[in-house]
């Protein structure tokens, strides 16, 4: 009986000594068992697990969850934290490959800092003022419209296809107040996106940019110069000139100039839309855009009247 009392007293003393702070209590979870939710450790030796957990416990999760370290974040209720999942998998791969602990620590540290920077940029994107050069870009609507909507898109992006279906009727409804500017941001994951953007620019040389853009978003299939020429022919475009323009350095530069602006402004996804120099959150309903544009028109007119 006395022994039992002594054990209880010692346990209480240890809790008091640790200060019973949140992080100490969090670290108890999974400490003895070497477990990481949704990370398979069945093929990892006990020695490798020791190194893994030492590395993962050395860094707080950069996702912004406030957890004391990557192990706590992975084992918390937020099982969907992709950041701790990716870093845990990264550490597992490097440990199993036999990398030195200090090298893995540096690798994870670099990844944590890069992730923090990406998250910071993502949080700030909706407060930033975007000065995009639209001098040579094609647009729908009036040149001097009071509301300008810049759209960075990719012809192989399914979300861009949905968005463009909304943009065309919006341009008609707000023909006097709205200017919709199309910018290219072909993503690396889409192998033909750059060539499709060049095809639209080449069609623009013959006054058919928006006709080709609309057709490219509607027509899906494997890219080829001949197929693009067939589509151009449907639009009454001189196909010989079209093919030549697709190889023209100035046409190609136009596409990459847009892509460089997207990169400079940390625009990594498509479609990305900027309304009067402010990025808008992605919603793809006609009513959302209607309300957004109406409110912007009222705001601009009110500001103009107050001068």
- Evaluate whether 273 touches 159 at the Cβ level (below 8 Å): no
Q: Is residue 78 in some structural domain?
A: yes
Q: State the residue for tokens 């949704």.
A: 38
Residues 198 and 292 in one domain: yes
Q: Is residue 134 in some structural domain?
A: no
Residue 175's CB is within 10 A of a number of other CB atoms, namely: 13
Question: Has residue 30 got a pLDDT over 70?
Answer: no
Q: Domain span at residue 104?
A: 21-124
* Confidence grade of residue 79 (pLDDT, cut at 50, 70, 90): low
Q: For residues 205 and 77, which has the higher predicted lDDT (pLDDT)?
A: 205
Number of domains in the chain: 2
Average pLDDT score over the chain: 86
Q: Is residue 214 in some structural domain?
A: yes
Report the pLDDT averaged over residues 230-254: 95
Residues 154 and 216 in one domain: yes
Q: Is residue 234 in some structural domain?
A: yes
Q: For residues 195 and 2, which has the higher predicted lDDT (pLDDT)?
A: 195
Q: Is residue 246 in some structural domain?
A: yes
SS3 letters across 94-130: HHHCCCCHHHHHHHHHHHHHHHHHHHHHHHHCCCCCC
**Residue (of 214, 231, 216, 220) closest to 166 by Cα position:** 214
Residues 169 and 284 in one domain: yes
Distance CA 302, CA 307 (A): 9
Q: Is residue 15 in some structural domain?
A: no
- Evaluate whether 243 touches 198 at the Cβ level (below 8 Å): no
Q: For residues 117 and 183, which has the higher predicted lDDT (pLDDT)?
A: 183
Phi, psi of 177 (to 5 degrees): -105, -20
- In this structure, of 42-46, 126-130, 142-146, 243-247, the range with the lowest mean pLDDT score is 126-130
Residues 109 and 145 in one domain: no
Q: How far apart are the first and last CA of the chain?
A: 86
Q: State the residue for tokens 């898109």.
A: 153
The overall pTM is greater than 0.85: no
Distance CA 121, CA 119 (A): 5
Report the pLDDT averaged over residues 167-179: 95
Q: Is residue 7 in some structural domain?
A: no
- Evaluate whether 241 touches 206 at the Cβ level (below 8 Å): yes
Question: Has residue 155 got a pLDDT over 90?
Answer: yes
- Evaluate whether 288 touches 201 at the Cβ level (below 8 Å): no
Distance CA 301, CA 295 (A): 10
Task: Report the CATH number at residue 169.
Answer: 3.40.30.10
Q: For residues 226 and 174, which has the higher predicted lDDT (pLDDT)?
A: 174
Q: Is residue 282 in some structural domain?
A: yes
Question: Has residue 26 got a pLDDT over 70?
Answer: no
Residues 221 and 267 in one domain: yes
């Amino acid at each position: 009986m006395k022994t039992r009392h002594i054990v209880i007293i010692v346990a209480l003393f240890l809790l008091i000594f640790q200060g019973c702070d949140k992080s100490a209590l969090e670290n108890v979870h999974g400490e003895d068992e070497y477990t990481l939710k949704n990370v398979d450790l069945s093929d990892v030796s006990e020695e490798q697990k020791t190194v893994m957990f030492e590395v993962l416990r050395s860094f707080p999760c950069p996702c912004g969850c406030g957890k004391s370290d990557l192990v706590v974040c992975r084992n918390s209720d937020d099982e969907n934290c992709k950041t701790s999942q990716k870093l845990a998998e990264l550490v597992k791969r490097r440990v199993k490959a036999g990398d030195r602990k200090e090298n893995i620590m540096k690798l994870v540290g670099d990844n944590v800092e890069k992730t923090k920077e990406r998250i910071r940029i993502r949080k700030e994107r909706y407060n930033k003022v975007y000065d995009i050069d639209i001098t040579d870009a094609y647009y729908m609507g009036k040149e001097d419209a009071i509301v300008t909507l810049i759209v960075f898109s990719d012809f192989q992006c399914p979300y861009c296809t949905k968005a463009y279906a909304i943009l065309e009727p919006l341009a008609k409804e707000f023909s006097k107040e709205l200017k919709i500017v199309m910018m290219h941001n072909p993503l690396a994951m889409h192998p033909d996106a750059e060539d499709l953007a060049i095809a639209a620019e080449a069609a623009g040389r013959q006054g058919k940019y928006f006709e080709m853009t609309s057709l490219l978003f509607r027509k899906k299939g494997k890219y080829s110069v001949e197929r693009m020429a067939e589509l151009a022919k449907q639009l009454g475009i001189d196909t010989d000139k079209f093919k030549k323009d697709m190889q023209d350095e100035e046409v190609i530069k136009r596409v990459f100039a847009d892509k460089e602006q997207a990169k400079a402004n940390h625009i990594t996804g498509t479609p990305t839309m900027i309304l009067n120099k402010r990025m808008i959150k992605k919603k793809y309903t006609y009513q959302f855009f209607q309300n957004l544009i109406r409110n912007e028109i009222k705001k601009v007119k009110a500001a103009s009247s107050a001068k």
